[in-house]
Each structure stands twice: as structure tokens, then as C-alpha cells.
């Protein structure tokens, strides 16, 4: 991953977070969850760092923390593979961020 790639991924995550802020619940004693769909990188090796997803998920978590939210858990699960994603060996993931 190049530095310009990392900046692009970060800016994309900032934009997605900004658009999703309207769904954040007010800070209170209750536990809440925010869901995001995230496309994974192309599969090119068996064991490697998922750089794009790492940058984007970290940016969303940091943005939430900067606004005073306490992150309780982060859960990432593969969701579906349609024909276009299978052709490019790419998966979609559902990201669940549980927060207070």
C-alpha cells in the first residue's frame, strides 16, 4: 500500500463516517451498535494484512473516540459473495461497532 492509497482509504472512511453520524445514538448509559458494509481487498495471498480495511476501520473507530464514544467491541463478518465479487475474488464484510 502506498502513502497515497492510505490517504485515499482514510478520506473515504472519513466521508462514510460523516454520512453515518446521523445514526449515532446520544451518549448515555446504554449500549448501541453501528453497522457498515465494507468491501475487502482482492485476495492475493493466504496470509497478509488487509491494509485497506485496516485503515478504514481504524479511521471510523478513531473518529468515534474523538467524539467521546467508548468502543466496546468491533466485529467483522463476511456477508455475501455475488457474481461480480467472486469474479474478482473479493468479499463484502459487515462491520459491527458496539459503543457507549
Check residue 38 and give its pLDDT. 86
Check residue 60 and give its pLDDT. 96
- Which helix (H) or strand (E) segment is 97 a member of? strand 92-99
Low-confidence ranges of the chain (pLDDT < 70): 41-46, 80-90
Check residue 48 and give its pLDDT. 73
C-alpha angle 19-16-87 in degrees, rounded to nearest 5 = 135
pTM: 0.81
- DSSP 8-state secondary structure symbol assigned to residue 61: H
Amino acid at each position: 500500500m502506498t502513502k497515497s492509497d492510505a490517504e485515499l482509504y482514510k478520506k473515504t472512511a472519513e466521508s462514510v463516517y460523516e454520512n453515518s453520524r446521523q445514526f449515532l445514538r446520544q451518549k448515555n448509559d446504554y449500549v448501541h451498535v453501528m453497522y457498515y458494509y465494507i468491501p475487502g481487498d482482492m485476495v492475493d495471498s493466504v496470509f497478509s494484512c488487509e491494509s485497506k480495511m485496516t485503515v478504514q476501520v481504524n479511521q471510523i473507530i478513531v473518529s468515534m473516540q474523538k467524539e467521546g464514544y467508548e468502543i466496546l467491541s468491533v466485529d467483522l463478518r463476511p456477508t455475501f459473495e455475488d457474481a461480480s465479487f467472486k469474479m474478482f475474488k473479493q468479499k463484502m464484510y459487515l462491520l459491527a461497532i458496539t459503543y457507549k
